[in-house]
Amino acid sequence: MLYTKEMTPPSSPFHYCPACGLKGIEFLRQKEFRCAACGFRYFHSVATAVGALLMHDGKALFIERALEPSKGKLGLAGGFVDPGERAEEALAREVREEVGGEVGVPELLTSFPNQYSFRTAWYHTCDFYFRADLLTPPDRLISDPKEVASLVWLEPRDVNPDDLAFSSLQAFWRFLLSSGRLE
């Protein structure tokens, strides 16, 4: 599956070949740039991202996003996997950076594709969702104000998937509610 209903294939973010500077670089199958003038080829590969389902007393931890995209909407602690990093390490790092907490060994639940826009650039991502124990007491969490406007604890069944940031997170929440993984 390349695109879900709500995911419209975006147009190319590049107009000039980054190797030779000529105009007219082709964008093929949403993933490959080709320059007919100099033969340059570049793959716009899918980026790996992670999201953390952190539960405490039956409630899930959300972050109110302080930054675009989806500023003001609810997301999970998480982010992009860095070069050379394992997905599990990225999850622990992002939770530490965004909410100041430590996590136990994460369990992979599922994954969904997403498109992530940042200013005029965009990325295809595959978002991996993990459940992990939060080892830090909730009242000791310290969120990063640059990325997080507030921390929000919600009963999973009270969350309307449509209110969540990103189509992949909405799909994850529907998966979670129908999977029995919350029982």
Site of interaction with Zn ion (CB under 5 A):
17, 19-20, 35, 37-38, 40
Between 25 and 76, whose beta carbon lies closer to Zn ion? 25
DSSP element (H, E) containing 88? helix 87-99
Q: What is the DSSP letter of 166?
A: S
The nearer residue to Zn ion, 31 or 41, going by C-beta atoms, is: 41
Three-state DSSP state, 38: coil
AA letter at 78: G
Cβ contacts of 22 within 8 Å, gap of 6 or more: 16, 35, 37, 38
CB of 29 to Zn ion, least distance (A): 19
Can you list the positions of beta strands (E) in the chain? 26-28, 32-34, 41-43, 47-56, 59-65, 74-75, 77-80, 107-118, 121-133, 148-154
**Residue 161 phi, psi dihedral angles, 5° rounding:** -55, -30
Q: How far is CA 48 from CA 18, 76, 78, in A?
A: 24, 15, 11
CB of 21 to Zn ion, least distance (A): 7
CB of 56 to Zn ion, least distance (A): 53
Nearer Cβ to Zn ion, position 37 or 142? 37
Cβ 19 to Zn ion, closest distance in Å? Answer: 5
CB of 14 to Zn ion, least distance (A): 11
